[in-house]
Structure 1
Amino acid sequence: RDAAYLQTQLLIAHKEKAGIQLQAEEYDLIAAAADLDKIKEVNANCILMANLQQASTS
């Protein structure tokens, strides 16, 4: 993730914490970030399972 993306996420988090109403685009960014994190988690789990399976058959 690039610096601008992380800066935007930080700004959104600060606005949320301060109780400032977010715009629709900001909610979309939050949802996209959550989806991306979930995809990365699933990918990591798949790689781990494949490595464990390979190790158990070696």
Structure 2
Amino acid sequence: MSLKIAAKLPAIIGAHAAHLAWVDAKTNEFLEVVGESRALPDVPPQVPRRRRRARQVR
């Protein structure tokens, strides 16, 4: 690792953490909005149930 990159790492990590916090806040906002709109009908979220199993090799 070159020294230039090593010197920048704390700033990069700090920016990354700030970005993650921002994404987290946006996601919470979105989930609240979606939760409010979904509160009317009591429907469980659709989950794809069928997972393709790996073929058994004999």
TM-score range relative to shorter protein: 0.5 to 0.7
Aligned to 1:37: 19
> TM-score, length-normalised on structure 2?
0.55
Structure 2: 5+ residue runs without aligned partners?
41-58
Q: Which has the higher contact order (CA 8 A, sep 6+)?
A: 1
Whole-Å separation in 2 of the counterparts to 1:20 and 1:31: 17
Once the 2 structures are TM-superposed, how far is the Cα of residue 38 of structure 1 from its aligned partner?
0.6
Task: Give the C-alpha shift of residue 20 in structure 1.
Answer: 5.2
Unaligned runs of 5+ in 1: 1-18
Q: Which has the higher helix share?
A: 1
Kindly report the root-mean-square deviation, in angstroms, between the aligned alpha carbons of the 2 structures. Answer: 1.8
What is the TM-score normalised by the length of structure 1?
0.55
Q: Larger radius of gyration, structure 1 or 2?
A: 2
Alpha-carbon distance between aligned partners in 1 of 2:23 and 2:32, rounded to the nearest angstrom: 14
Match of 1:56 in 2: 38
Matched positions, count: 39
Identity %: 8
